[in-house]
């Protein structure tokens, strides 16, 4: 009998996103019967020690395996974060996906990368077993393709991207790690820097699109529904990707139905985690307004 293969899933986050990361993992577990085959690779930086026990509830509830990759201990990650651009609203941890072939154990055949603002609605083994048709990765075309590729007036990056070519969203990736490693990502980054347009790129998403141009399989849009609406519920979405200004973990998302699937999301995250997450956020905000609080 052929041994059952583990399903490797990678997430990248910092301490501010520990609860959404928990929700992503729980959504994956709730939608598959292969829970004990799941191996979650948690790539994080600045994660408070108390978060480990909270995240381990996933292993306790479902029998999945959690592997922590502490990015502060990775020389490659430290070197990469020093040279790559980061906006104020983003954390350098986003670049961890560029190093997945180095971070994961040698011999891992493939990995499914998920952003922490997603929620799984279907069995993840469908992605795991998918034929990549010889490509290095599979992804969904970005609905904001033209703007992300070319910027203001669709002209700013025309010297880098041809707007007629396909362009994927990097929030969900099925990656063949052997082919990913052969792509020489570090070499490409050095080339972007040499050509002088590294700081003009839309972070790792632009970088991955340039590196894997013509080497990715285009998936149906349901595998990464960007900015979902309630109408999508009737269209059998596989993965929801909450990229809007209001996120499903906001206090009113479920009560006011201001975010599609907001109430479901809260129960996926669990009320205990949701309210613990918000108590901390409110307390931090109060301390910023009143620096003498708690002293």
Instruction: Encode 171-203: b = buried (16+ Cβ within 10 Å), e = exposed.
Output: bbbbbbbebbeebebeebbeebeeeeebeebbb
Q: What is the pLDDT of residue 3?
A: 56
How much is the pLDDT for 88? 60
Q: What are phi and psi of 13, to 5 degrees?
A: -160, 165
Tally helices (H) and strands (E) across the chain.
Answer: 12, 10
Length of the chain: 295
248-266 as b/e, with b when 16 or more CB fall inside 10 Å?
bbbeebbeeeebbbbebbb
CATH code for the domain in which residue 211 is found: 3.90.550.10
How many whole angstroms from its chain centre is CA 67? 16
Q: What is the DSSP letter of 64?
A: -
Asked, for residue 134, whether it belongs to a domain, the answer is yes
Half-sphere exposure of 238 (CA within 13 A, CB side): 15
DSSP letter (8 states) at residue 231: G
The answer as to whether 270 is a domain residue is: no
Q: Tell whether 67 is covered by a domain.
A: yes
Q: Which residue has the tokens 């583990």?
A: 6
Distance (Å, whole) CA 288 – CA 284: 6
Q: What pLDDT score was predicted for residue 38? A: 99
| Owner of token pair 């010889």 | 134
Is residue 272 included in any domain, yes or no? no
Residues 6+ apart with CB under 8 A from 251: 278
Q: Residue 243: helix, strand or coil by DSSP?
A: coil
Does some domain include residue 235?
yes
The residue segments making up the domain with residue 212 are 7-248
Q: pTM score > 0.85 for this model?
A: yes
pLDDT score of 122: 98
In a domain, 268, yes or no: no
Q: What pLDDT, on a 0 to 100 scale, did the predictor assign at position 290?
A: 62
Q: How many domains would you assign to the chain?
A: 1
Output the six-digit token pair for 179.
Answer: 């082919």
pLDDT less than 70: residues of the chain: 1-4, 87-90, 253-257, 284-295
Q: What is the pLDDT of residue 252?
A: 73
């Amino acid at each position: 009998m052929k041994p059952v293969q583990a399903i490797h899933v990678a997430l990248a986050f910092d301490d501010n996103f520990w609860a959404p990361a928990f929700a992503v993992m729980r959504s994956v577990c709730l939608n598959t019967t292969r829970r004990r085959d799941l191996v979650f690779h948690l790539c994080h930086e600045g994660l408070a020690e108390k978060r480990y026990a909270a995240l381990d509830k996933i292993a306790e509830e479902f029998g999945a395996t959690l592997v922590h990759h502490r990015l502060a201990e990775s020389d490659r990650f430290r070197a990469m974060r020093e040279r790559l651009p980061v906006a104020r609203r983003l954390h350098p941890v986003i670049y961890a996906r560029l190093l997945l072939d180095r971070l994961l154990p040698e011999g891992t055949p493939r990995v499914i990368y998920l952003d922490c603002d997603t929620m799984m609605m279907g069995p993840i083994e469908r992605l795991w077993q998918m034929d990549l048709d010889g490509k290095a990765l599979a992804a969904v075309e970005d609905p904001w393709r033209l703007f992300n590729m070319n910027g203001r007036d669709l002209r700013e990056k025309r010297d880098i991207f041809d707007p007629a070519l396909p362009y994927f969203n990097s929030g969900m990736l099925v990656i063949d790690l052997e082919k990913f490693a052969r792509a020489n990502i570090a070499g490409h980054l050095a080339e972007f820097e040499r050509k002088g347009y590294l700081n003009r790129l839309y972070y790792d998403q632009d970088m991955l699109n340039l590196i894997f141009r013509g080497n990715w399989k285009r998936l149906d849009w349901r595998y990464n529904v960007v900015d979902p609406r309630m109408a999508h519920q009737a269209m059998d979405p596989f993965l929801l990707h909450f990229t809007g200004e209001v996120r499903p973990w906001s206090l009113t998302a479920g009560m006011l139905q201001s975010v599609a699937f907001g109430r479901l999301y809260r129960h996926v995250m669990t009320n205990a985690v949701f309210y613990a997450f918000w108590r901390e956020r409110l307390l931090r905000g109060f301390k910023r307004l009143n620096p003498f609080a708690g002293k």
